[in-house]
Amino acid sequence: MGYLNYILKYMVVALGLLVSGQFSGYSQTCCSGGVPLSGNIGFEGAASGTLQMEFSYDLNFLSTLKTGSEVFEDGTRQRITHSFLVKTGYSINRWFAVDALFSYVLQGRRILFNDQVDQVNTHGLGDAVVMAKFILSSISETGSEFQLGLGPKLPLGRTDLTNNYDITLNADMQPGSGSWDLITWAYYARQFVIRQTMVASVRVVGRFNGENRAYLGTQSYSFGNTVQFYLGIGDQVVWGNSILSPSLSLRYRYAAGDRINDQELDNTGGQWINLLPAVSWHLSPNSILHFVPEIPLYSNVGGTQLTPTFRMQVGFYHSFGIMKKRKSNTYQL
Amino acid sequence: MRQTLIFGFLCSFILLMGCEEEPENNGDSSSPGSDSLKSWAIPRDEVFDGGPGKDGIPALTEPEFISAEAADFLNDDELVIGFVVGDEARAYPHHILDWHEIINDRVGEVNIALTYCPLTGTGIGWNREIDGMVTTFGVSGLLYNSNLIPYDRKTNSNWSQMRLDCVNGELRGKEVETFPIVETTWLTWKEMYPNTKVVSRNTGHNRNYGRYPYGNYRTSHSYLIFPVSNEDDRLPNKERVLGIVQSGSVRVYTFSSFGDAVSVVNDELNGKQFVIVGNKEDNFMLSFINDKGDGSTFSFSAVQGQYPVVMTDDEGNLWDVSGRAVAGPRKDARLDVPPSFIGYWFSFAAFYPDLSIYGDS
């Protein structure tokens, strides 16, 4: 019964955050094949003076063609995004921390038609996010953790890469978005009383996108605002001489349609619900390897779109300094 | 072992971060050399990647046809492109062309590529026999002035649909030979050719043909997805007009030039005489060169209620929508058809900035 109360409490908090995000007039964004920036920003809290680092690889494979929620069997198109992410965070004191996320992106578009293959690949430095965090409560002190974060997405990535005809590729194939965006982030986690290694968490991330005013030279382009909502539970178990942290999360993502010259573009935006069964291996008190597959459960896309078929992330985490507790929460995709 | 794994992981990151930011080559092995690839007859910086990629919008080749009675998925007011060879009439619905943009077909002995660009609203019948070789066209995924750039599969050359020539590749500079087509509503086309066949939805591709894929694009005059090189506000951007392309000059005709019955307009452009026949209510406009062959011209008048016949002349011939004399002293003769097609006003203005509007003083 106690667990049920906790879960209900978390859900109420999470829904509150979600609703407040929507009342601000936006939701979250990033096209389905884009770089997973907003979903990866934000570390758990750590003791003052702790430097946290994470290197991860994210694969997003899109080959499912959908109109709304209806799947259209079509094996002709594939879109792959490989993202290499470097995340770092520093806990300034009990109340404040700052996180940053940098990306390098390899994107591929593959068309199979009449036994011919057309493949276009791009790669380059992607955009970055810097976020200041305010830590309202710490899990080591109160058994629950509540953080709020806010920061810009910096348009470091190029938006003018061309194909082999020297023709500028469209926004979807560029490593950068060309816009300054605002990221808002909220994270709440709570230990279970009877099993303190077990943690339930809720995370809400909003991304409010600016415009790339030099898209294709004269156009204005903005990716649709997005909101992502994560609900997860994780624990630690001893396996041989190792500590493993299995976790299970549910991710809901809403993306508004992209806009070009202030007109909403068709065949963009939508809603996705994915399941993330993750496992992490504690190499040492300060180092963790993690693996997070992401399984699409439901999606309802705007118009007709390729939508993720499979996604996964592997990463290595290390902290320099004192960790407040062993990292055991659900992983953040 | 653990340290080695971690070290390798970190090194991979550093190497990748240092990579140069250039896209890799297209995997198309038939592509010509890079100089040829980058040489265009149109401003290269005005050619854009549409997004889906080469063949990402799959052209159809010799698709399945069904009878008009079986085409219960078509509403009467939907637009189709009609093509007639001899006694065989075929209809290519916009709502299938919206998803495929090109239909390579063979009607009798005629090899035609129905090229259709949803963003400019232009449907043009191309001869796909080039220098005695039959080819098929595919969708390059590139756009110029928002307009389709087909590529031919024999040489991989890129063509501009509305310029009617090859703009990149081995065949650069070669002009398109067009076939006369009729763009009208399904109801009108059925009335003209009750025995018409129509492209089946069984195309071999799984698409939602009942859904227009570009939202409010065709009705919102302010909504352009790609930049165009010239804008002209004399008409609303998405107004459908008929344009005649004559030796570099273009004149467009609006539906308002025609009444709700078949009517005929005689006009002259660059020293050539034309007759334009149209019906606003039945939603078609067609153009023909008015030349008896000896330098003199016909005196045309409209014919009502005898589709596909739409005109008669001072010799007593009856002319149908394909420009064929179906009765009279010139029976089976054909009027020549200039390069002409219906499209959105903005696209004609983008391609042909000096164009004129019929009736515009």
Query: Mind listing the domains of chain B with CATH numbers?
Result: 34-199 (no CATH), 240-357 (2.102.10)
Min Cα distance A131 → chain B (Å) is: 21
Q: What is the pLDDT averaged over residues B87-105?
A: 97
Of A112, A114, A118, which to mutate for an interface test with B (greatest number of B Cβ within 10 Å)? A118
Q: Which residues of B touch A66 (CB under 8 A)?
A: none
In this model, does residue B6 exceed pLDDT 80? no
What's the confidence (pLDDT) of residue B56?
93
A135 vs A205: CA distance, rounded Å: 16
B122 vs B7: CA distance, rounded Å: 58
pLDDT tens digit sequence for A170-179: 888 999 999 9
Look at A217 and B227 and tell me if their CB atoms are within 8 Å.
Answer: yes
Q: Which residues contact A197 (CB under 8 A, 6 or more apart)?
A: A191, A235, A236, A326, A328
Q: Which residues of B touch A76 (CB under 8 A)?
A: 55-56, 58, 205
What's the confidence (pLDDT) of residue A17?
33
What's the confidence (pLDDT) of residue B360?
85
Look at B53 and A118 and tell me if their CB atoms are within 8 Å.
Answer: yes
In this model, does residue B133 exceed pLDDT 70? yes
What's the confidence (pLDDT) of residue B38?
80
Residues in A 267-306 with any Cβ partner in B closer than 8 A: 267, 283, 287, 303-304
In this model, does residue B152 exceed pLDDT 90? yes
Min Cα distance A146 → chain B (Å) is: 31
Of A55, A127, A165, A218, which to mutate for an interface test with B (greatest number of B Cβ within 10 Å)? A165
In this model, does residue B23 exceed pLDDT 80? no
Of B49, B154, B218, B230, which to mutate for an interface test with A (greatest number of A Cβ within 10 Å)? B49
Say whether B333 sits in a helix, a strand or coil.
coil
Look at A263 and B220 and tell me if their CB atoms are within 8 Å.
Answer: yes
Residues in A 174-233 with any Cβ partner in B closer than 8 A: 175, 216-219
Q: Which residues of B touch A86 (CB under 8 A)?
A: 13, 17
Look at B2 and A161 and tell me if their CB atoms are within 8 Å.
Answer: no
pLDDT tens digit sequence for A209-252: 999 998 888 889 999 999 999 999 999 999 888 899 999 999 99
Q: Report the mean per-residue pLDDT for chain A.
A: 85
pLDDT tens digit sequence for A20-70: 332 222 222 234 667 788 888 888 888 889 999 999 999 999 999 999 999
State the fold for domain A2-320. Porin (2.40.160)
b/e burial code for range B63-98 (CB count within 10 A of at least 16 → b): bebeebeebeebeeeebbbbbbeeeebbbbbbbbbb
Min Cα distance A65 → chain B (Å) is: 9
Question: Are the C-beta atoms of B159 and B172 separated by less than 8 Å?
Answer: no
Q: Which of A114, A163, A219 is the closest to B23 by Cβ?
A: A163
**Domains of chain A: which residue ranges?**
2-320
The residue with greater pLDDT, A48 or B289, is B289
Query: ipTM of this predicted complex?
Result: 0.80
What's the confidence (pLDDT) of residue A32?
61
pLDDT tens digit sequence for A137-172: 988 788 899 999 999 999 999 999 998 888 999 888
Q: Which residues of B touch A219 (CB under 8 A)?
A: 226-227
In this model, does residue B27 exceed pLDDT 60? no
Quick one: tokens of B286?
């067609």
What's the confidence (pLDDT) of residue B22?
46
B42 vs B169: CA distance, rounded Å: 12
Question: Are the C-beta atoms of B91 and B123 separated by less than 8 Å?
Answer: no
Min Cα distance A124 → chain B (Å) is: 4
Q: Which residues contact B332 (CB under 8 A, 6 or more apart)?
A: B324, B325
- Nearest C-alpha neighbor of B43 from the set B350, B252, B326, B358: B350
In this model, does residue A7 exceed pLDDT 60? no
